[in-house]
Amino acid sequence: MNHGGGGPNRGFHTASPEEILAGPYLAFASLETALLGVLCQASGVATRAARCKVAAEGRPVYSFAARRVHPAIVPMVERAAYLAGCDGVSTVKAAEALGLQPVGTMPHSLVLMLGEERAWRGMDRVLDPKVPRVALIDTFQDEKLAAVAAARILGDRLAAVRLDTPSSRRGDLPAILREVRWELDLRGFVDVRLFVSGGLDERAIQALNPFADAYGVGSAIGSAPAIDFALDVVEVDGQPRAKRGKLSGRKLLWLCPECGNRGISPWGRRAAHCPRCGHRVRSLLETWISKGKVKAPPTIRGLRERTVRQVQDAPDPFPKET
Amino acid sequence: MNHGGGGPNRGFHTASPEEILAGPYLAFASLETALLGVLCQASGVATRAARCKVAAEGRPVYSFAARRVHPAIVPMVERAAYLAGCDGVSTVKAAEALGLQPVGTMPHSLVLMLGEERAWRGMDRVLDPKVPRVALIDTFQDEKLAAVAAARILGDRLAAVRLDTPSSRRGDLPAILREVRWELDLRGFVDVRLFVSGGLDERAIQALNPFADAYGVGSAIGSAPAIDFALDVVEVDGQPRAKRGKLSGRKLLWLCPECGNRGISPWGRRAAHCPRCGHRVRSLLETWISKGKVKAPPTIRGLRERTVRQVQDAPDPFPKET
Amino acid sequence: MNHGGGGPNRGFHTASPEEILAGPYLAFASLETALLGVLCQASGVATRAARCKVAAEGRPVYSFAARRVHPAIVPMVERAAYLAGCDGVSTVKAAEALGLQPVGTMPHSLVLMLGEERAWRGMDRVLDPKVPRVALIDTFQDEKLAAVAAARILGDRLAAVRLDTPSSRRGDLPAILREVRWELDLRGFVDVRLFVSGGLDERAIQALNPFADAYGVGSAIGSAPAIDFALDVVEVDGQPRAKRGKLSGRKLLWLCPECGNRGISPWGRRAAHCPRCGHRVRSLLETWISKGKVKAPPTIRGLRERTVRQVQDAPDPFPKET
Amino acid sequence: MNHGGGGPNRGFHTASPEEILAGPYLAFASLETALLGVLCQASGVATRAARCKVAAEGRPVYSFAARRVHPAIVPMVERAAYLAGCDGVSTVKAAEALGLQPVGTMPHSLVLMLGEERAWRGMDRVLDPKVPRVALIDTFQDEKLAAVAAARILGDRLAAVRLDTPSSRRGDLPAILREVRWELDLRGFVDVRLFVSGGLDERAIQALNPFADAYGVGSAIGSAPAIDFALDVVEVDGQPRAKRGKLSGRKLLWLCPECGNRGISPWGRRAAHCPRCGHRVRSLLETWISKGKVKAPPTIRGLRERTVRQVQDAPDPFPKET
Amino acid sequence: MNHGGGGPNRGFHTASPEEILAGPYLAFASLETALLGVLCQASGVATRAARCKVAAEGRPVYSFAARRVHPAIVPMVERAAYLAGCDGVSTVKAAEALGLQPVGTMPHSLVLMLGEERAWRGMDRVLDPKVPRVALIDTFQDEKLAAVAAARILGDRLAAVRLDTPSSRRGDLPAILREVRWELDLRGFVDVRLFVSGGLDERAIQALNPFADAYGVGSAIGSAPAIDFALDVVEVDGQPRAKRGKLSGRKLLWLCPECGNRGISPWGRRAAHCPRCGHRVRSLLETWISKGKVKAPPTIRGLRERTVRQVQDAPDPFPKET
Amino acid sequence: MNHGGGGPNRGFHTASPEEILAGPYLAFASLETALLGVLCQASGVATRAARCKVAAEGRPVYSFAARRVHPAIVPMVERAAYLAGCDGVSTVKAAEALGLQPVGTMPHSLVLMLGEERAWRGMDRVLDPKVPRVALIDTFQDEKLAAVAAARILGDRLAAVRLDTPSSRRGDLPAILREVRWELDLRGFVDVRLFVSGGLDERAIQALNPFADAYGVGSAIGSAPAIDFALDVVEVDGQPRAKRGKLSGRKLLWLCPECGNRGISPWGRRAAHCPRCGHRVRSLLETWISKGKVKAPPTIRGLRERTVRQVQDAPDPFPKET
């Protein structure tokens, strides 16, 4: 399967093999569409999640994508977001599968039914003492007064306030955050964190970093456009053959451990040295299924560590002129 | 559930109720995320599909979205595309559920393994005589010669040629189509249709209409951004109450059958007359579940007819200055 | 004095004489700078005020410019704004000079010192019963709740609520207004008007018209750029003479009462007929000072009526493509 | 009084206190509008004047704003321009108040009445020998010939030529200046300076610097938009309280003498050290009125020196990409 | 020879045959490059000239292109310009070949050597009385004074003044023309025409039309980009054959005399009726060389009339939104 | 003759003398137009050719301009292109005059008449063994397969393949080149070069450099806009005199051999030292004709070397931000 490029190539290398299937075509022909579907959508979600995480410059980012995608794929979406670097997910099912505690705050409906103060106090009363208290403060009041009110009511037990400010009130969200921060600090609530959600994407996160402490990201992750992988025949009976627009022949994907250069070369001619620095390169391809035996898959933790490291090593996705 | 608007409002009316849930909150609280997920993603897909269908100005549009989304939601995606006006879908499973024959053509892999001529002849030999023959012509050759070759080989049995031209060769796709049309016509193959696929969206379709006869649309439909519905509490114990940014109170959604005007009004005050033309309006809300009884759902055919009619009645999504 | 044009000609005709001084040059040479200063700044203010009034499509517009200009020219600024069509001014001094009652609402400082409810009630208690009650609702609370609260407290005596929403909360001010309107109406307060102020200019006013009932405009009027009039010698001893870039000779300024055409022609050759429609034209020039005698100046009311009529007859300052 | 920011913050720090009034509110409530008017307009004028002076990179800049503003505020406008760095002002009244000689050249009207040569010779004959002769050269002739003619007539006594070139002839004003410079130099008049005026602003000045020696700036200074200061209550009875969009509480404004960092902090917690470099900061606030006693105001000279120094220390207002 | 289209199709129809060569390939192969060169450059020149003429809305346009192209092709360039609608050409050689009188005015060098007045008087003295006197007025003086001076000197004998204003003085050339027109009219010289030259193209001409009476166009015509014709083999031994990107087979080019529609159709199938209006079409192709006999070529006059008529019938090259 | 500048100054210095004619005006007056024509068009062609050559970063660039210009100037155009750095020209006549072998490949017509394989083999059979074989591969087939086919047929004798890909197939020409390169290399044809032609200009060349080995440039060179030189009188009887917009007086053009600075100074005052670095400058002017004697002209080779060196020393014509 090659990534065909086209459009902004977001983190993938054009024409490089991501997956190689070798064997009788009819053995996997009927799986082509399903294989692509799994790979394209999950890669799209993961790419967007990784970008948000990079944009947050170390601050936690939680996937709130569940409400934007069909329930059947929520576990897939949250898994992809988590593997790409998100710090938590919001559904019980997905969290369980990933070995995590789900993440969330009180909903607006609670505040609407009980009123702000009763909702805050109620949450404080019923939650396990180990769970950090996060007060939702944008329901009725302006965030300025609500943040101070919540802090006064919950005192030291308040870990954070959550601003899910409606778009019609987002004239200058960084300014609102600055104001909340100032008013909390002025009254001694310097440890209360600011948790922001609502229509966030990479650019919004970058603008909020000076004042925000954590982010919940929904639509941007859930509706991330799929990556356009293609499953191309590139070799028939050992002979290179490919349709127009594709490079023919089985390929090697190599990485130079010295300079980070990455490239492809024909399978037969194992690339020995990096064309840029001359250092010996190493193959990035691993065999996962061979003669019917499937290699043991990596753990969730292992996968995530590898992905996060790759993202860190990739070029800066937000160059200055953007 | 209200649609929150914001951004380009693609076919939905801001702040109008799409679904009203009335009852004890805890009876449906745990379903909120799932309900939204079902509604948001399917509505996004359907909206994009409807736009493509409108852009095609009557030409058939088929959903080729299956390879861009996780297999678990392929039936949902293809159903939404079909209900919104697409003329067919490409997966067996989804087609069955919709009571349709799946739609597709020979794949590139067949041509790659057999060569063009053998692939075309082979398809002709094995297909049920009732199935229209569509020859894929972009694999190895330029479309100009391949179209004529396929027409010469299959003669009157060739229903259409399919151009899935790679993006690197799409300098001016309308010009390529014009050329193929000219060469076919010049040699008497005036009944061979041109079927186009590959990275199409509404704008591409509009540009190709002068020469194309049918379209297959993949990523544009499969990766359509979700519609941002919200499930908002707007009434508590009969009292209007809503968070900032939302209109409080249960609402009536009405349509003026005379002038097409559409609007909302508070539930209590049943809007009697259209504020624009004075004609008597009628409610667009229907009761689907009441006291545990679920009204029999409409048939697929009925749903599609209604949707297509609504799309036809909606304002032109492609005003001239765009 | 000619208007030199250049840049967007905002309501003035390039090269047309606005004022003609004839006599020994030394009799008025020392007044040149002062004459220009009076004319340029007041004309700039009046032009902007007229544009705001046109944009408001009949809704009242009040000049709140006093806090943006030096106190010494507040009467001049407010006079110019009023003559150009504004419905009222905010300072006692200027209002007196114009024969008006000054216009204003309670200040934020009152709300800050007393709290919202006490401020609203206090205003209601001390104001002359004939003065309409306008409650300032943006100080502490979100406008949504504050508007309903003010209406509940003051009941039928509340004439309007004023939104001076800070820019950091102006994500979508028309949406906020729509929400306030909906919540007031839903609870029966259909007669409470919405008065908007804060950083408004012509474009903002046009966007708010669907929901706003009146406007207060400050900086846009007070900081209006001066109109670039020039005091040019165009005739010396009866001979036309002018510097480069100016048309020489004393000029007649005429208007065609039939088709609205307007133009200039050399003084000697009294333009008899309109070059466009052939109708007899009439001169727009009037003699105000002659041989030391000054004609009685028109009343404020007369001046304003004439200006407003001229603005109405002028071409639409907001053509569609803007 | 805080500067509210918003829009391009031209030289002022958002939310920093420029003036603190403490005492019974009614003692200064009636002065709010006047105080703001004085501060807002003068600050706008000074900011624009400072920008022009910075743009001129050391070349003299004179305020010619008098003809664009109402005579009542000419002294205020010219004072603000002078304090911000302008090298002179054009009205007798303002110059006297500032302890300066007014600056100007012969007017176009003189040339129009006498002709160029008689005007130049006349000026030379009547002016005090100590006043530098500046010949206005754009009235009738193209600047190229007029400059040489003036230099030939006045010889060594000609200090400068003034180009007030009409906009219709400003195809490429830098090229015209270069040409005038070349023709003067070629004929030995290397000491004649080029003085430019007419519709200049910062950008025009930057483009003319390679050839111009001095500037007269009118509309850009006179019609400078006011700075949007606000007089906000931020503390009531010793308790921080502020409307939405403002930081509550009395504030300290500090400067780090080491790294130039500048910031605010709550009054109570006197900022001791710079958060950037750790150096001890110092307060920028000074007490001017206390218990009815007014501190002696600084001299004009002292004020101007301080302003000019602050402008020099401020970040470059014309970063490269602009 | 087909026009290949691509880029803005300036007056030619994509893929339509402009010239058909039939016969043994070697009989004309060596002429391919020369044939294309003749056709491409001349068509480019003619297209630009026709656009300028259309832009001038009836005012005379003269080709001043000779100084921008190699002398060897001046006759070709001026012929093409004239055939496309220009009213005259500036070189003796080209004019003779076209049966015209060459067109020109006194050069700047004459004014530079004699001075303006002597140059104007000299021209008047030596020219044949039948030649209209055109005074060049932009050499030393500003156009405003020079125009009046020339008119005073030559009186009724002055037919026009020519403004070749240098680009550095073209701040607002329409305004300069308006001023010259006003000053001439004011002094009774209402019959003196304004002739403009210098860097003009279609847009400049459109802007000057309100005041200019005639135009001289140089670089725009001389440096017009060539039209990209191609000499394509489209038929071999009676069989259609063409390279990718071209329509194969000999073609008929037809015009519908009823609705102006124009199109191509295969040679064999003589298009009988217009696909748009159903009217009988007629062929636009004419046989010029057959069996060695060359048809008598049309006269220059005949060619020009035909071209001008075609340009008039073509769609407006300057639609409103441009 | 001065270059007047204006527009993007492409390689020429504004107002610097390129040619000085001294003597009785009538001795050269009648040559003015012809002299300008020769200089303007040839300089335009040479400038564009030099830019293409610089863009190619060392790869050969051949002039294919002959088919876009009138045959009478083909030798002039190809000479200018060659002198500016092109590596060869395509017409026999021009090549002979320059002492070169003409450059070209088989035409499309050969392939159309013989078919690809017969055309390739035929070329191989009839060409002198010393001529490198270049196979045209874009006529019928997609370049991907055609390149491999040509290499298999001609084997080691194939020097290069030529891609003249039609614009309708140029979706991503660099990607097509990459694909051709990959397929050739994969099959061992690593020495076959890629020669590209068809609508190329500087930007296209820069984009293709990673994969292309040589370029043929046609329209960009042939239709290059002329450089706007002017033949200006700047001195009359030893006195400096010039029209508006020009610097008067004979000028020296100097170059600083130390820092590359270049400038002009009045003839009389021989610039001795560079104003930038203080080094002694040297004159760039040479005497070519004096008292009727013409200095022997430099050889073609000598001229080209000088031009190429000047282009190398000139500032980078493609700065990064472009």
Q: What is the mean pLDDT of residues D134-155?
A: 97
Full DSSP string of B225-285 = PPP-EE----EETTEE---TTS--S-EEEEE-TTT--EEEEESSS---B-TTT-PBPEE--
Cβ(D9)–Cβ(D43) below 8 Å: no
Question: F239 by DSSP, 3-state: which?
Answer: strand
- Does the structure show a pLDDT above 70 at D58? yes
Q: A282-291, C143-152, D44-53: which range is least confident on average? A: A282-291
- Rounded to a whole number of angstroms, the distance between the first and last alpha carbons of chain E is 31
Q: At which residue do the structure tokens 């409650």 appear?
A: C135
Give chains near C: 3+ CB pairs under 8 A. A, B, D, E
Q: Do A179 and D240 touch (CB under 8 A)?
A: no
F247–D179: do the CB atoms touch at under 8 Å?
yes
Q: How confident is the model at residue B211 (pLDDT cuts 50, 70, 90)?
A: very high
pLDDT tens by residue, E118-140: 999 999 999 999 999 999 999 99
Chain position carrying tokens 């990479």: A202
CA–CA separation, B317 and E129 (whole Å): 68
Q: Do A246 and F183 touch (CB under 8 A)?
A: no
Please answer whether residues C255 and C262 qualify as being in contact, where contact means their C-beta atoms are separated by less than 8 angstroms: yes
The CB-side HSE value for D95 (13 A sphere, CA atoms) comes to 15
Rounded distance, CA A144 to CA C166, Å? 12
Picking from A138, A145, A172, A182 by the largest number of D CB atoms within 10 A of its own CB, the best residue to mutate is A182
Contact F240 D179 (CB under 8 A): no
Inter-chain CB pairs, C–D, below 8 Å: 159
Tell me the C-alpha distance between E148 and E277, whole Å: 58
Q: Measure the CA angle with vertex B123, ends B119 and B126; round to 5°.
A: 135
For chain B, percent of residues with pLDDT exceeding 90: 84
- Distance between CA atoms of residues D183 and D149, nearest Å: 11
pLDDT reported for residue E196: 98
Neighboring chains of B (3 or more beta-carbon pairs < 8 A): A, C, E, F
Residue of F nearest to A14 (CA): F175
Span C106-158, pLDDT tens digits: 999 999 999 999 999 999 999 999 999 999 999 999 999 999 999 999 999 99
- Please report, rounded to a whole number, the percentage of residues in chain D having pLDDT higher than 70: 94
Task: Give the ipTM of the model, two decimals please.
Answer: 0.92
Band (C8; pLDDT cuts 50, 70, 90): very low
Mark whether A and C touch (3+ CB pairs within 8 Å).
yes
Q: Is the pLDDT of residue C10 over 50?
A: no
Can you tell me the mean pLDDT for A238-264? 92
pLDDT at F13 over 70: no
Residues of chain A in contact with residue F186, where contact means CB-CB under 8 angstroms, are 240, 248-249, 266
- Which tokens hold the place of A90? 């919001």
Q: Nearest residue of C to residue A179 by CA position?
A: C168
Q: Do A266 and F183 touch (CB under 8 A)?
A: no
Contact E168 D145 (CB under 8 A): no
Q: Give CA–CA dist C67/C93, Å, rounded.
A: 14
Q: Are strands C251-255 and C262-266 parallel, antiparallel or unpaired?
A: antiparallel
Q: What is the DSSP letter of A189?
A: -
- In this predicted structure, what is the pLDDT of residue A270? 65
Gap from D186 CA to chain F (nearest CA, Å) = 7
Neighbours of E (≥3 Cβ pairs closer than 8 A)? Answer: B, C, D, F
pLDDT tens sequence across C144-180: 999 999 999 999 999 999 999 999 999 999 999 999 9
Selected for mutation to probe chain F from A248, A252, A264, A321 (highest F CB count within 10 Å) is: A248
Task: Enumerate residues 190 to 209 of chain B having a beta carbon within 8 A of any beta carbon in chain A.
Answer: 199
Structure tokens at A207: 């603008």
3-state class of C193 per DSSP? strand
Contacts of A187 in chain D (CB under 8 A): 240
Separation of alpha carbons C112 and D67, rounded Å: 42
Mean pLDDT, range B130-143, rounded to an integer = 97
Q: Assess contact for E52 and E214: CB atoms under 8 A.
A: no
**What is the Cα–Cα distance from D183 to E114, expressed in whole angstroms?**
20
Burial class from Cβ neighbours inside 10 Å (0-12, 13-18, 19+) for residue F245 reads buried
Contact C234, C249 (CB under 8 A): yes
Phi, psi of C280 (to 5 degrees): -70, 130
The pair of three-digit structure tokens given for residue F320, joined into one six-digit string: 């990064």
Q: Are E53 and E205 in contact (CB under 8 A)?
A: no
- Please tell me the distance from the alpha carbon of residue A187 to that of residue A65, in angstroms, as a whole number: 35
- Beta-strand runs (E) in chain F: 2-3, 61-63, 88-89, 133-136, 158-163, 193-197, 214-217, 229-230, 235-236, 239-240, 251-255, 262-266, 282-283, 289-290, 293-294
pLDDT recorded at residue B317: 87
pLDDT tier at C13 (50, 70, 90 boundaries)?
A: low
Q: Among partner residues D142, D144, D167, which is closest to E171 by beta-carbon distance?
A: D167
| E244, E251, E264, E265: best to mutate for the B interface, most B CBs within 10 A | E244
Task: Check CB contact under 8 Å for C166 and A169.
Answer: no
Interface test with D, best of E111, E168, E176 (most D CBs within 10 A): E168
CB neighbour burial string for A110-135, b if at least 16 within 10 angstroms, e if fewer:
bbbebbbeebbeebbeeeeeeeebbb
> By percentage, how much of chain A surpasses pLDDT 90?
84
Distance from CA of F33 to the nearest CA of B (A): 43
**Interchain CB distance below 8 Å, D171 and E175:** no
Mean pLDDT of B229-237: 95
Q: What average pLDDT does this structure show over F242-261? A: 92
Task: Give the 3-state secondary structure of residue B180.
Answer: helix
Residue pointed to by tokens 């209601």: C124
pLDDT digits (tens, 9 = 90+) for D255-286: 999 988 888 999 877 668 888 899 999 999 99
Instruction: Write down the pLDDT at residue C14.
Output: 67
pLDDT of the residue at A14: 67
Cβ <8 Å between C244 and E144: yes
Query: Which residues fall within 8 angstroms of residue D88, CB to CB, at 6 or more apart?
Result: D60, D62, D63, D82, D95, D100, D101, D102, D103
- Mean pLDDT across F92-106: 95
For residue C252, which phi and psi values (nearest 5 degrees)?
Answer: -100, 140
Mean pLDDT across the stretch D193-214?
97
Q: Which of F8, F41, F9, F39 is nearest to F225 (CA)?
A: F41
**pTM check: above 0.90:** yes
Residue B13: the pLDDT is 54
Side chain identity, residue D282: R
Take residue A129 and report the two structure tokens written for it. 């003492």
Q: Cβ-count burial of B295 within 10 angstroms (0-12 exposed, 13-18 middle, 19+ buried)?
A: exposed
A215: pLDDT strictly greater than 90: yes
Q: What is the mean pLDDT of residues D19-36?
A: 94
Res. D207: pLDDT tops 90: yes
What's the half-sphere exposure (Cβ side, CA atoms, 13 Å) at E141?
20
Average of per-residue pLDDT values in chain E: 92
Q: For F32, which residue in chain E has the nearest alpha carbon?
A: E67
Q: With an 8 Å Cβ cutoff, are C140 and A142 in contact?
A: yes
Nearest CA in chain A to D251: A186
pLDDT single digits (tens) A144-193: 999 999 999 999 999 999 999 999 999 999 999 999 999 999 999 999 99
